[in-house]
Each structure stands twice: as C-alpha cells, then as structure tokens.
Amino acid sequence: MALHPHQKEELAELAVAAMRERGLAPEFSRDALRQLGAIDEPGQDGPNVVDLTALPWCSIDNDDSRDLDQLTASEVLEGGAVRILVAVADVDVLVAKDTPLDRHAQINTTSVYTSARIFPMLPEKLSTDLTSLNPNQVRLAVVTEMVFQPDGALARSTIRRARVHNKAQLAYDAVSAWLTGDGPLPEAADRVPGMDQQLRTQDSVAQQLRANRREQGALDFQTFQPRAVFDGDRVVDVVQQAQNRARQLIEEFMVATNGVTARFLDGKRRASIRRVVRSPERWARIVQVAAEYGETLPADPDSLALEQFLARQRRRDPLRFPDLSLVIVKLMGRGEYVVEAPGGEKLGHFGLAVRDYAHSTAPNRRYPDLITARLLKAALADEKPPYSPTELEYLANHCTRQEDAANKVERQMRKSEAAMLLEACIGELFDGVVTGESKGNTWVRVFSPPAEGKLLPSRAVAVGDKVRARLVATNVERGFIDFEQVD
C-alpha cells in the first residue's frame, strides 16, 4: 500500500527539532552573521609562514564534501624513506577566540550531518570557501611533516605554518577504485603530472602504518552507518558507507598527524586536549561475547587479542560482523576528550592502539581541533597558551557532551530516513538478522535496504539469528520501524 511520501523538507524540520531537543543550536546568531558579513577574503599571511604552494597537494574526501580540512603530499627520499606532509586548514586566522562565530562553534562543537540538512559548525561561507582548502586556491594551513622509514617507523617530524595550494580535489570511492585496479585514475588527478605516483606512494605508506597499528592491537570495526539517497524531495534509497583503501589512507595519516601534534605540545611543556578511549571497564562482558563465539580472550583488557578475534570473525561471518562490531563498540564505551598536562599520565586510545592522540585535523567541523590549532600556533610562536587549564577542562567535558548529543541527532535522523523509505512497503517481506534484545524488545537489521527496527518474534530468537520478517508499521516522526517474524 503506497502512502503519501513525506518530503525532504519535513525531514529537515525533524532534524531542527532534534537539534534543539539535544541542546544544539541549528541556526547562527545575529551577532555571528554580522561578524560573517565583515569577512570577505581568506586569511592573510602572518609571521613565520612558509610558501609550500608548489607541492603536489591533493584532498581526498567524500563525493559531496565541500568543507575540505586537510591536504596530503609525499616525497620519496633516499634509502626508501618517505616524507608525508599533511596540511590542515588554518580556521583560527578568520575565527578568533571568543568572537560570536567562535561562541556558536563552541555551543555545538561539531558539524551535524543529516541527509536532509547539514548543520555546519561554521557558516558555509567559511567552512566551504574561505577556510576550506579548495582546489586552485591559496590558503593558510598548519603543516605537519613526517618522515617514515620503509618499515613505517616515524623517523622525525616538524610542524609549521604555511601557504598551500590544492592541485586536485579527489573523492574516496574513485581513488580507492583506481588503487585496487577497479577504475580509472580520477580525472582531477590525471590532470596533475605525477599525481598518480603521489597517490601510489601515499597508499603504500598508509598500508604499512595500518599493518603496524593492527599488530599493536588497533581495532578494525565495521559499524552500521547508512545514509539516505534523495531524488529531488523523495528518499529513494538507503545505502551503507563502505570502508575502502582511500579512506584508510586518510585515516592513517590523520592518526599519525594527531600523534605528532600531541607529542609536539607535550614537548613544548603545554597542556592539550586529547581524544581517548579508556581500557574497557566492561571487558569481562567482552570476554563473555567472545566465548559465545567459541573464542577465549585474556582476563585483562588486551586490544591485540580483541583485534585478532574480530579479524577471525570478519573472515568467518562477514554478514553478521557489523552487528558484532556494534556490540563491542558499545561495550568499550564512548570516546571522550580529556586534558593532558605535559609529562602527565597518558590514557591513550584503546581502539586505535595509540598513546598520543590530539584531535587536530578537522577544524572546520570539530571544535576540539580548532582549540588544538590555537594551542599549536601559540606554541610555534612561543606565546602564552590561549586557554587556561580550567578553560581546557571545561571545554573537554563540554565537547564530549555535545559530540554525544550530535551523534544522537544523527542516529535519530537515520532511523527517520529509513522509516520514510519503507513507509510505502508495509506488508512486504525482508531478510534480516537479529541484532539485540533489551527491555523485553527484540531488534532486527534488514539487509536491503540497510535498516534497523523492532521485531515482534513468533518464536524464540537469539542475537545473530537470520530471520524473515514482514514490515507492519513505520513512524517517520519518531523513527520507528516495526517488523513481525514470519516462520
């Protein structure tokens, strides 16, 4: 039975309501817009800014990304070492601390992405233009230079302010398809002499770094993050974002850059905001989950043992692996921002298997990264830190809370988007897998389209069971999807 389709505009209104309900600001204040009106050109050079515009910089991001936070470039050195350079947009040069635009960014602390509407942390005039590392534009950036040995060991690193020039705006899926031999070199890369070798070199280093982190116990999850596809105003599909080689390339360089940033500030005897995931308090339950799969994990938290278990399960049962990933992610607990004093205890990031991790690579869309940029620039100029220890403590806790709120908005909207797509499919049958049980409810994930809902079982089921289910009800406003089991 086809129902009257809800419109994209209605989803956008639901997103605004969800933002307000979670204590986030969907609109910019008049003061922020007034400040924005006075900004009409990119940031200008300051002292100690070097010219790196001649390097073969490129950006790799989502197909539809317009807020370009970072660029990469590489150079092969004698003996097989490789110099990797990561440029991060200098947002602070246009958005100074304690200005109206900064105060708005501090409320939300992150851009919130829903399919019907994006709520950028900074206005698009900045985040997609004047502070974005757009192609064929000269922009100011903070550049981290890292020299890696052939085995992936970091030999040395430096950080400096620079002018950069994006030679090619590339997208994950197209770059990945080319790297794996499944597609042509993207046209934007083909136009730049030597860009193909740049990408091969960067991919090679990234895969070595990835292998090294996996050996240290970095966890490789496959989480469930579908997004709606629109045709005009109507939702016509929901697709799951796939991990691929180009995403891994950027992820590895961002992890490395964030490590260098954290150690640089520590070496300058300065406090920093770190992103941490503590050793799981619910490790005993993770051990129980592994036992349900016939595996034995150590009694004390061990990320390498956990990663090896996850890798075996991914190979053994790729269909259900996203659901196992979700269970483990929930049991590990959320990431959080903390302040680390120089020389203090390092909590580290359990999931990434790194000890030093300061969010620094996305200042257009994450507030902790903008804070870190200001700390970095002050350290480079040998100036007094722009934040007191008390301010940093407050901001770390606030960023953790608001990022949680933003994640809840995005999850809520993904449910509403799936309900919108499925509302015309009442009575149809779907194949799925049971993903959870809580408070007397059973949850199912159907495969096509990728969506989760409540299952009314007709017989006893357990997490991981494959089921056939009939769609019986949807509620777009509340994001509810109800199935009944078909024997």
Distance CA 363, CA 337 (A): 15
* DSSP for 415-464, written as a single string: HHHHHHHHGGGTT-EEEEEEEEEETTEEEEEETTTTEEEEEE-SS---TT
Distance CA 132, CA 111 (A): 14
**Does residue 58 contact residue 187 with C-beta atoms inside 8 Å?**
no
What letters, b where the CB count within 10 A reaches 16 and e where it falls short, cover 233-245? eebeebeeeeeeb
Q: Which of 2.40.50.140, 2.30.30.790, 3.40.50.1370, 3.30.70.330 would CATH assign to domain 426-485?
A: 2.40.50.140
DSSP 251: H
What letters, b where the CB count within 10 A reaches 16 and e where it falls short, cover 36-59? beebeebbeeeeebeebeebbbbb
**Does residue 233 contact residue 9 with C-beta atoms inside 8 Å?**
yes
Q: Which two tokens stand for residue 236?
A: 């016509």
State in Å, rounded, how far the first CA of the chain is from the last one. 23
What letters, b where the CB count within 10 A reaches 16 and e where it falls short, cover 298-332? eeebbbebbbebbeebbeeeeebbbbbbbbbbebb
Nearest to 480 by CA among 441, 437, 434, 433: 441
Check whether 346 has a pLDDT greater than 70: no
pTM of the complete model: 0.87
Which residues have C-beta within 8 Å of that of residue 128, sequence separation ≥ 6?
66, 67, 120, 134
Distance CA 183, CA 240 (A): 20
Q: What share of the chain in percent tops pLDDT 70?
A: 92
Mean pLDDT of 4-18: 84
Please give the pLDDT value at position 350. Answer: 57
Check whether 4 has a pLDDT greater than 70: no
pLDDT digits (tens, 9 = 90+) for 392-408: 999 999 999 999 999 99
pLDDT digits (tens, 9 = 90+) for 295-339: 898 888 887 788 788 888 888 887 777 777 777 777 776 788 888
Is residue 47 very low, low, confident or very high in pLDDT (cuts 50, 70, 90)?
confident
Q: List Cα–Cα distances, 336 to 54, 251, 257, 274, 354, in angstroms.
A: 38, 19, 19, 8, 15
Check whether 463 has a pLDDT greater than 90: no
Please give the pLDDT value at position 2. Answer: 38
Please give the pLDDT value at position 329. Answer: 72
**Does residue 32 contact residue 454 with C-beta atoms inside 8 Å?**
no
Q: Which two tokens stand for residue 114?
A: 């829903």
Structural domain spans, the chain:
8-216+242-269+358-409, 283-332, 426-485
In one letter, which amino acid is 115? S
Please give the pLDDT value at position 305. Answer: 83
Please give the pLDDT value at position 232. Answer: 80
Q: What share of the chain in percent tops pLDDT 90?
A: 62
Tell me which of 5 and 290 has the higher pLDDT: 290
pLDDT digits (tens, 9 = 90+) for 233-286: 787 877 777 778 999 999 999 999 999 999 999 999 999 998 877 667 678 888
User: Hey, which residues does 139 pair with through a beta bridge?
Assistant: 164
Lowest mean pLDDT among 103-107, 257-261, 344-348: 344-348
What letters, b where the CB count within 10 A reaches 16 and e where it falls short, cover 402-424? bbebbeebbebbbbbbbbbbbbe
The vertex-128 CA angle with 47 and 54, nearest 5°, equals 50
